[in-house]
Chain A
Amino acid sequence: MHLILSAKSAVRECVECHTANSALTEKLFRHMATEDRQSGFLNSVILNNYYMVGATQNKMLDEFMWGLFGLSLLGILLHGATRLATGRKRA
């Protein structure tokens, strides 16, 4: 519990904790079952107490928005292609 790490092994990279697979879930919350740490929100155990940029991602929201983005891009490409095709036919 009171083991202080040497300077050499200190965490220096923000993204060791600020990321989907956060080191915090291993270090602070390792006593919890894996499924408790992973269902719903990524790193949901951290979430119960904090919000943390990079570590707190809502999978459902992100996947839904990626989908919406993809569909919009597809719509734009189709619309643009149809404009090109019908424009050429008229010319």
Chain B
Amino acid sequence: MKKILLYPTWVRSWHWINVILFVLLIWTGVELHFARPRTAGFGFQTSRVIHNAAGILLTVNYLVFLLGNLLTRNGRYYVPNLGDITRGIARQLRFYVWGIFRGEPPPYPHSEVRKFNPLQKITYAVVMYAILPLMIVGGWLMFFPDKIPGEIIGIQGRLFYALTHTFLGWLLGLFMMVHIYLGTTGNTPTELYKGILTGWIRAHDGDGAK
């Protein structure tokens, strides 16, 4: 088995900038949503400033992601194999609830043509192309509350965006928790972390799937 550069410098920078911004946004988001007098943390006023600044930087970082996916082959890793999608997800789930405990090899190992298993593809595609854009658009709209329609599907416009923003924030927090844990499920607990830090990872020749 050989090692390949699966995470080039721009992907790693993008990823770790995302990490910092996500942590800041989730932390300050929780502080703003559950605001209360005299609690530990940044405080309401500072949280507001950090949340706004980190949101703007996340928007820039998201544009880097979109541009990078257009200009390099990175975008192709996210495209699911539509003909095989149900079976692929089922195999990966079976690995997580059964095979992993018996020391079986992962059904979809890394290779030059595969960075993500089928479950990752669908999850990352939903997070990156649905949840995050909605989050960003909603966040920007709240910078201009007077531009938000008074009513959307029967509820107050600002409430609609704020509720969506809160709900998606919860989902992204949940995603991050599971993402951090599944990062330990490589061939060794630290293999995948070393990969996203150095860029290099052990990979199969060709497709590698059995």
Contacts and interface: CB of A to CB of B under 8 A. Distances in A.
- Pairing of A with B: yes
Interface of A: 13-16, 18-20, 47-51, 53-54, 56-58, 61, 65, 68-69, 72-73, 76, 79-80, 82-83, 86-87, 90
B167 interface: yes
Interface string B129-162: 0000000000000000000000000001011011
A51 B158 contact: yes
Interface string B34-47: 11110000001100
Most chain B CB within 10 A, of A15, A20, A72, A82, is at A15
A56 B162 contact: yes
B166 interface: yes
Contact of B36 (A20, A49, A53): A20
A49 B166 CA distance: 19
Contact of B156 (A20, A47, A69): A47
A14 B33 contact: no
Nearest to B145: A51
A72 B159 contact: no
A83 B101 contact: yes
B32 A54 contact: yes
Interface residues of B, number: 30
B162 A14 contact: no
B163 A68 contact: no
Contacts of B161: 51
Contacts of B96: 79
Contact of B44 (A18, A68, A73): A18
B80 interface: no
Contact of A54 (B33, B102, B103, B167): B33
Interface string B1-43: 0000000000000000000000000000000111111000000
Contacts of A65: 167, 170, 174
Contact of B35 (A18, A47, A76, A80): A18
Nearest to B37: A15
Nearest to B185: A83
Contacts of A53: 32-33, 35, 162
A78 B129 CA distance: 31
